[in-house]
Amino acid sequence: MGQTDKDIKIVNTGCCHDCGGRCVLKAHVKDGQVIRIESDTGEDPQIRACMRGRAYRQRLYSPDRLQTPLKRIGEKGEGKFKPISWEEALTEIAAKMHQVKATHGNASILMVASGGNQGMLHGALPVGAMLQGFGGFTRSWGIASYEGAMYASMATYGTIRTGNSREDLLNSKLVIMWGWNPAVTIWDPGTSLMMSRIREKGIRIVAIDPRYSDSAATFADQWIPIRPGTDSAMLIAMAYVILDEQLQDQAFIDLHTVGLDKYKDYLFGKEDGVHKTPQWAETITGVSADVIATLAREYASSKPAALIAGWSPARASFGEQYSRAANVLTAITGNVGVNGGYASGFMRAYSSRETNHKRVIAGKDSEKARSTGNPVEDGAPPRQYALHKLFGGTNPNSARIHNAKVFDAILRGKEGGYPADIKMAYIVASNCLNQHPNTRRGAKALKALEFMVVHEQFMTPTAKFADIVLPVNTFMERNDIAPPWLGSPYYIYLNKAVDSLHASKSDLDICRELSTKLDISPGMFQFAEDDILQGITASRDDIPDYEAMKRDGVVKIKLKEPIVSFKEQIEDPENNVFPTLSGKIEIYCEHLAEMNDPKVPPIPKYMPHEESHDAALSKSYPLQLITSHDKKRAHSTWHNVPWCHDIEPHSVWLNSLDATNRGIVDQGSVDVFNDRGRLRIPAKVTERIMPGVVDIRQGAWYAPDEEGVDHGGCANVLTKDEPSPGGAHPMNSALVQIEPTPEGAGRKK
């Protein structure tokens, strides 16, 4: 059966979950079934899907797909449900929502929404619109992936558009991949290919990572292993060397930055008596002073050089400080706004989403910026530590609950200092129990809810706690548009390939039907899917032809030249200011200074915390846990797809020294634990991780036994739920211990 088979129709669609890409898929459809998948075979640059997109048929046609609405009949979390009709499900949800609203008010309804099943239309958007129409709801803030990096980007540059086109890296003389592993996390399709081309051009690449990651191993000339949570110390010591040896770009600093003197006071001991020398950093980071000083000199003298500060080191307690320190280092070396340089920051490059960077003047427009049309939060003051005078970052509304604190908020409510007493959760495109920190607190919280609705494709650990689960279709079963992820200039039109499987429906259709039972004005729900998608397109001038996009499945936008963020500010500073309060790059951030709180210093600092490598707690829990991304999954999505799952067993990585000390053998069963929880998975004994550090890839599904030991290997059983002031999630700041299980210890004999 060849491709010319007349019965096969090729449908242009695209892969759209919460990974670092949005990729072209071509679904081969025969007799209403997707029988196989190709990816981009069109013009350069091709947007080739990875293993996950290629495996999509096993997700689409999984025997575990939810088929009908389900009503819980067992205990919460037990997973016992009975099928019910849509009519019954939606009637019950509507009745319960009316009751909760009447008894406790709209603020008691919490929406938990992530990017697990999303396009520009489907996913959280219709649910938010519906809940808004119902009189409002409590929502959350703080994106686990990047909140720390975003805060630092806003504080330094006043914007999240700080990236360059990937091909501009070919103009660099040195590329530093700091905590950045695009071989697994994608970071826009084509990034790994570009990294190979950079290497092949002879450009030097340095990787800084506690693990010898796939990216470090494939692209880098030098690998510098570093203790998790200490990246800011190394970056600060690099700044020390550069300034101490007069290697900085003083003309750039004078013209484009504010506050270097205040940073110097910290670096050279005026502030706290400590000189932030490479020797100082060596004891903290585990990286030798020589290596730090050499890299500092190399970075300052290899102009232009690109320091790409990945988000993962910022997924830590005080993770904002790492991102701030990286941003500032790019500025003092004059690597901002020039070809071959890189400003770090949030690193969005191409985007038509936020083209106007307005400075919001304090006290005047900031309320407008916070306004969302959600009655529950309108009028609420800015929350503590929010950069509320700036526009374009995270919404600073204080009625929102940080994602890491959602579980605690459910348990403690207003008495615990939270903005609302939560009675009901409406969860969409989110496996929050698994993916928010502190899973066991999460389980307690979800049990405490009066009512919980989940939109899902599978019976996830989160869905098991729902009162009603509604089966949602996948992108193969509906139309949508996928925007570029972070920096690549294209849009993908996801044409519906097959009809919705079983009794599943799109998020839009579910909300459309439920709204009528909630007696709310139809709003967006009066429009058909296609009308809404046309509307989304019409508001963007980079999609000239909706029908052509739909037909071709992809619009690749040709840029006249590679994007280099801040080029205008650097080339013509008279007429272009940075969208910060000072109009310059803020090494010293006045907005932070006004907060006058040591937890948010106006200059970047190294700030240890209660789960740092050398904290008191390390006596009981001497290993640092990091929870990296897995190539087999996008967070918890694809966990249950055999083609992906079978590639390698889920395991905890640890160095052979740490294994030998504990009597642990490769693939032997071990317990990883701390005061928050315990999980039991195989060990992968490897040289690819530094001693003292262990890695459990986040996203494997929580599967506790009767004693509460997780056999699924859900990393968040061990992570803490105390975010940083700027919102950084602390997923990479957990101390743990490991021991062989009786069974695992037996294996070594």
Binding residues for another protein (CB under 8 A): 1-4, 35-39, 41, 48-51, 54-55, 57-58, 183-184, 189-190, 192-193, 196, 199-200, 212, 214-218, 220, 222-223, 225, 631, 642-644, 646-647, 655-657, 686-691
| Comparison of 654 and 738: residue with beta carbon closer to another protein | 654
Q: Of 199 and 444, which has the nearer Cβ to another protein?
A: 199
Smallest gap from residue 311 Cβ to another protein (A): 19
Alpha carbons 56 and 16: distance in angstroms, whole number = 11
Query: Least distance (Å) from another protein to the CB of residue 145?
Result: 20
Tell me whether residue 608 or residue 691 sits nearer to another protein (CB atom).
Answer: 691
Beta bridge partners of 674: 677
In 283-400, the DSSP E strands lie at: 305-309
Distance (Å, rounded) from C-alpha 296 to C-alpha 224? Answer: 13
Residue 95 CB, nearest distance to another protein (Å)? Answer: 43
Shortest CB 739 distance to another protein, Å? 22
Q: Which is nearer to another protein, 58 or 534 (CB)?
A: 58
Closer to another protein by CB, 217 or 362: give it. Answer: 217
Decide: 506 and 429 in contact? Cβ < 8 Å.
Answer: no
Q: Which of 57, 676 has the CB closer to another protein?
A: 57
Neighbours of 46 (CB within 10 A): 17
Rank residues 193 and 448 by Cβ distance to another protein and give the closer one: 193
Closest separation in Å from C-beta 460 to another protein: 22
Q: Which is nearer to another protein, 23 or 253 (CB)?
A: 23
91 or 218: CB nearest another protein? 218
Let me know if 667 is exposed, middle or buried by CB neighbors in 10 A (0-12, 13-18, 19+). middle
Q: Which is nearer to another protein, 214 or 513 (CB)?
A: 214
Q: Tell me the closest approach of the beta carbon of residue 567 to another protein, in angstroms.
A: 29
Q: 358 in the Ramachandran plot: left (φ > 0), alpha (ψ -120 to 50) or beta?
A: beta
At residue 504, what is the residue type?
A: S
CA dihedral 136, 138, 141, 144 (to 10 degrees): -120
Measured at the alpha carbon of residue 371, what is the angle toward residues 365 and 374, in degrees to the nearest 5?
170
Task: Quote the least distance from Cβ 128 to another protein, whole Å.
Answer: 34
What separation in angstroms does the CA of 526 have from each of 129, 496, 522?
A: 12, 21, 5
Q: Residue 235 CB, nearest distance to another protein (Å)? A: 20
Nearest approach, Cβ of 211 to another protein (angstroms)? 10
DSSP structural state of residue 293 = H
Give the C-alpha separation, 209 to 229, whole Å. 11
Closest distance of CB 13 from another protein, Å? 15
Whose Cβ is closer to another protein: residue 161's or residue 632's?
632
Token pair for 90? 């939606």
CB of 1 to another protein, least distance (A): 7
* Minimum distance, C-beta of residue 225 to another protein, in the bound complex (Å): 5
DSSP for 601-662 reads -SS------TTSTTSGGGGT--EEEE----TT-BTTBTTT-HHHHTTS---EEE-HHHHHHH
The C-alpha atoms of residue 93 and residue 88 are separated, in whole angstroms, by 9
Residue with tokens 């690109």: 306
Q: Which amino acid is at 561?
A: E
Helix (H) or strand (E) holding 694: strand 693-696
**Residue among 190 and 229 whose Cβ is closer to another protein:** 190
Cβ 480 vs Cβ 119: under 8 Å: yes
Residues in the chain: 749
DSSP state string for 400-469: SEEGGGHHHHHHHGGGGT-S----EEEEES--HHHHSS-HHHHHHHHHH-SEEEEEESS--TTGGG-SEE
Q: Residue 443 and residue 205: Cα distance in Å, rounded? A: 43
Pick 212 or 268: Cβ nearer another protein:
212
Q: Which is nearer to another protein, 87 or 687 (CB)?
A: 687
DSSP 2-62: -TT-TT-EEEEEEE-SSSS--EEEEEEEETTEEEEEE---SSSSP----HHHHTHHHHHT-
Q: Least Å distance between CB 137 and another protein?
A: 39
Least distance between another protein and beta carbon 27 (Å): 11
